[in-house]
Structure 1
Amino acid sequence: MNRSSIMKWITGGLEAFWALPIIGGSLIISMNWSPLVVMLILHIITLIISVNEGKNKHGSILGIITSCVAIIPGLGWTMHTITAVLLLIDAYRSEKAIEIS
Structure 2
Amino acid sequence: MFLIPTIVAFLYELFLAIPFVGGATVLATGFGTVTLAFIIHIVVLVTRFAVGGSKAVPIIAIFLTIFTFIPFIAWFCHAIIAIMYLVDLIFSRPKVNQYTR
TM-score, with normalisation over the residues of structure 2? 0.85
What's the counterpart of residue 54 of structure 2? Answer: 56
Higher helix share: 1
Q: Which of 20, 32, 35 is 1:34 aligned to?
A: 32
Q: Which of 72, 78, 83 is 1:74 aligned to?
A: 72
Instruction: Work out which of the two has the higher radius of gyration on C-alpha atoms and give 1 or 2.
Output: 2
| Structure 1 ranges of 4+ moved more than 6 A | none
- Percent identity between the aligned chains? 25
Q: Quick one: structure 1 residues 97 and 88, their matched pair in 2 at CA, closer, same or farther if it must change by over 3 Å?
A: farther
Q: Which of 41, 44, 49 is 1:43 aligned to?
A: 41
CA RMSD after TM alignment: 2.0
Contact 1:46-1:60 at 8 Å conserved across structures: yes
Mapped partners of 1:96, 1:37: distance in 2 = 27
Q: Quick one: structure 1 residues 91 and 33, their matched pair in 2 at CA, closer, same or farther if it must change by over 3 Å?
A: same
Further displaced range: 82-91 or 56-65: 56-65
Mapped partners of 1:40, 1:16: distance in 2 = 14
Structure with larger RCO (C-alpha < 8 A, sep 6+): 1
| Number of residue pairs the alignment of both structures matches | 97
Mapped partners of 1:71, 1:49: distance in 2 = 25
Q: Structure 2 unaligned runs (5+)?
A: 97-101
**Letter aligned with residue 71 of structure 1:** F
